[in-house]
Amino acid sequence: MHPEFDVDLLRTFVAVVESGSFTKAASTVHRSQAAVSMQIKRLESMLGATLFARTTRHLSLTRPGNTLLEYARRVLTLHEEAWSAIVRPEVTGRVVLGAPDDYVSALLSPVLRRFSNLYPHVEIEIVCAQSTSLAPMLADNRIDLAFVTRDRKLRGEFVRSEPMVWVGASVDTPVLAASPLPVGLYEPGCVARQHTLAALDGARIRYRAAFSSASLMGLVATVDAGLSVVALTRCSVPSRLAILGEAQGLPEIVPLDIVVARSAKSDRPTCDFLAAQMMQDLSQRDAPSRGSGPKNAVKPHARG
């Protein structure tokens, strides 16, 4: 008799695949990194197969892992659809959700998949823009919900505190030797830029704003080209880039608080359910302390 699949094990397995690391998956499934590792080992033991090929730079699926992924996603989808069909009300409608592109790609994809499985008749429109641009759209009711960085204009309900880390093309990228240090920054007025500049000023590091962009991809392009270092949310760091810190002479940065903010006209079930799904899937039970930064960052083992 074959052992039965544990849905929790499959959910953790999919979370590791989708996040690209055990550390990020731990946050998604609300477990410690050690617990995630134990769950994957248990699943591998049940199957008698190795699911991930682990090196110092990559975490990739083996052939059995790729095979399991397709079935795991189907099992989880059916599990959620069955639950929804019995205990969830029939919900229809439309929600306009605003979020920065790095939050959408790094954090919201699993949430949107799960929500769509639970509420297949709800249409979701996603508006990708920086938090500074989404604030007036929320005030004017052009969007219903915003998954954004908290600031004076965007308070909302606290979801998680996301560390910011320095990234470069490599741990010994030549740009680190330049003085003043070339830095890529998000657009003026955003909280991420304010925290980055405050960290540099506090450490009395000479720098120049070499590049400015409202887009994650714009900043990443300058790092790929070896032209700057940038500060990004840890969740959005591409695996090919190196995470830098005190060893490279760079200061800690205050984390960003992420909130779900709502418009005045969002008082309806579709918005309630999507906001609740984001809170359920992404809220941190033990948020990082205000001083967390490169010391607690994911080690640069995933560079490619």
Could you give the CA distance from residue 217 to residue 37 in angstroms, rounded to a whole number? 31
The secondary structure of 244-260, three-state, reads ECHHHCCCCCCCEEEEE
- Look at residues 242, 151, 222 and name the one whose alpha carbon lies nearest to residue 193: 151
- Amino acid making up residue 267: D
Residue 39 to residue 34: CA distance in whole angstroms: 9
- Confidence check: pLDDT of 146 > 70: yes
- The average pLDDT across 39-68 equals 88
Residue pLDDT, tens place only, 61-97: 999 999 999 999 889 888 877 776 676 667 789 999 9
Residue 77 vs residue 111, higher pLDDT: 111
Residue 21's pLDDT is: 85
> Is the pLDDT confidence value at 223 over 70?
yes
Q: Could you give the domains of the chain?
A: 7-86 (1.10.10.10), 90-161+256-282 (3.40.190.10), 163-254+293-302 (3.40.190.10)
Could you give the CA distance from residue 16 to residue 126 in angstroms, rounded to a whole number?
24
CA pair distance 100, 103, nearest whole angstrom: 5
- Could you tell me which residue, 230 or 189, shows the higher pLDDT? 230
Residue 1 has pLDDT above 90, yes or no: no
pLDDT at 226 over 80: yes
Dist CA 136 CA 23 (whole Å)? 35
% of the chain exceeding 70 in pLDDT: 90
CB-based contacts of 152, cutoff 8 Å, min separation 6: none
Burial class (CB in 10 A: 0-12, 13-18, 19+), 296: middle
Q: Which residue has the higher pLDDT, 101 or 301?
A: 101
The pTM is what? 0.69
pLDDT band at 303 (very low <50, low <70, confident <90, very high): very low
3 or 232, which is more confident?
A: 232
Mean pLDDT of the chain: 86
Q: 21 or 233, which is more confident?
A: 233
pLDDT the model gives residue 30: 80
The amino acid occupying position 133 is S
The answer, yes or no, to whether residue 304 has pLDDT greater than 50, is no
Report the Cα 255 to chain-centroid distance in Å.
Answer: 13
